[in-house]
Amino acid sequence: MALIRVSSQPKIHLYLKGDKPVWIRNEDQSIPARASDLQALLDRVRATDATGPNAIGTAAGHARDMFVTKAKDLSATFADRQASANRQRSPTFWEFSAIPERSLHIGLDAAVERQFTGAIYRLYPSLDRNRSVNYGQSIVDYEDRARSWYGYSYLDLDRDHEIAWELTEGGVIRAIGEASGRIDPGPADLWSLVDLFISVDSSLRLVHEVWSKFGYYGAGGIVVNLRVPKLAHAIGGRTH
């Protein structure tokens, strides 16, 4: 069996030949278009042109400045590490953005927020396990929201590792996470290609789950950015 989904598109594809009428699809039939049908199609195109489609690098994909932080002093207590005054923006991170071809017009409310965070803990390995064991001690989370977007952050104070996600009303999904890691109690001066692939894979699955939940099966754009200055690549517990 094969399932083919054809989503609504804000474009008109007409085939004209001489003075013959314009034909349009009506469920499983092709019928001559009435004047009101053609006017409705033209109005839909004009409305789309006025709002503009989602695109990589536009404001639709950047509702806020997203970043992850690192503790200034790892010898400090968890409470001190958590304080914003004792944290600084990390120069090492991976960043993921997914922008649907057309806006999803999601109504962001408490139920959607819970579904979004629930999907995060199902799809990112180890987060839920660490949170269930250490929540309230070394694991803290934060929520941030505005009318057009919802943000969620996960901070592991023991590993000094932070990840943040964002969902906008247009269906844009963004994620950013700390890239530095360690293989022993020493400094976090390594980065892992495997960890990067796991994070990207989890982010893609999050996009698939959220978009399909809101009935969107169309195209979109994906951008992945990796910043690892001064970090060594870890392979099999060794640095190369």
pLDDT band at 158 (very low <50, low <70, confident <90, very high): confident
Contact criterion met (CB below 8 Å) for 185 and 75: no
Could you give the angle at the alpha carbon of 80 between the alpha carbons of 75 and 84, nearest 5°? 120
Q: Which pTM was predicted?
A: 0.73
Which tops the pLDDT comparison, 27 or 179? Answer: 179
Residue boundaries of the structural domains of the chain: 13-51, 59-239
Helix (H, G, I), strand (E, B) or coil at 8: coil
Average pLDDT over residues 171-177: 95
Spell 214-234 as b/e; 16+ CB within 10 A means b.
eebebebeeeeeeebeebeeb
- Beta strand extents in 107-189 (DSSP E only): 139-145, 149-156, 161-168, 173-178
CB atoms closer than 10 angstroms to residue 153:
18
Angle at 69 between CA 119 and CA 67, to 5 degrees: 60
Give the pLDDT confidence of 96-143 residue by residue, as tens digits.
Answer: 999 998 889 899 999 999 999 999 999 998 887 777 777 667 888 899
Which residues make Cβ contacts (< 8 Å) with residue 181, sequence separation at least 6? 161, 188, 190, 191, 192, 195, 234
Tokens 């409305």, located at residue = 47
Structure tokens at 67: 């970043």
List, for residues 212-234, the tens digit of each pLDDT value: 999 888 888 999 999 999 888 88
- Whole-number average pLDDT of the chain: 83
Angle between helices 110-123 and 193-213 (to 10 degrees): 140
Amino acid 76: pLDDT: 86
Residue predicted with more confidence, 178 or 34? 178
What is the CATH number assigned to the segment(s) 59-239?
Answer: 3.30.160.110
pLDDT, tens only, 77-103: 888 888 888 899 999 999 999 999 888
